[in-house]
Structure 1
Amino acid sequence: MRVAVAEEPRVLHTIQGRVRVHLPGWSGQGKRSIETVLREVPGVRSIQAKPLTGNILIHFDPLLTNEPTILAVVRTLDLHTTEPSEEEPPPP
């Protein structure tokens, strides 16, 4: 019997001050929400969430934060957040 297990976010690549994380199962919705939450982490300098690949690239100051702290925040993200697509015009 197989049991479906939700995959955890995983680090694809890391160097000092930068980490790329894959978000399995992310539909691509909620890009701005993801970026907003991660920008609140002290030491995070920039975030690029890419819906097409399901990855987020995070640049951070290694003197203020680290990969485990960032990954802990990534694990708390609501990947099912729905927000209007950036291509969709706002409702009238």
Structure 2
Amino acid sequence: MSDPRTPVQRASFLIQNRLGLHARAAALFVQTVAPLDADVRVSKDGETVNGKSIMGLMMLAAGKGSSIDVEARGPAAQEAIRALGALIADKFREAE
């Protein structure tokens, strides 16, 4: 059972880059959250995957215009959500 005192942050994001959450974008997503002390889960259309798994993220097939829900749990939950929001807003650093 999870500790009710564990910080939890949730946010929904719209995937805006042209290629969506493909291999390179998924790798950047994982690189962003991997060093953080937070358990990150990503959901789309009822499927939830580990946000620190490139393959899991790719399985969501989140193309441009898709909405994903992110939940981060742990001491760095807020930092994880903030960093992912910036990465997604920057279109995973892709030139359009």
What interval of TM-score do these two structures reach, taking the shorter chain for normalisation? 0.3 to 0.5
Normalization by structure 2: what TM-score? 0.44
Higher relative contact order (CA 8 A, sep 6+): 2
Look at both structures and tell me which one has the larger radius of gyration over its CA atoms: 1
Structure number with higher helix proportion:
2
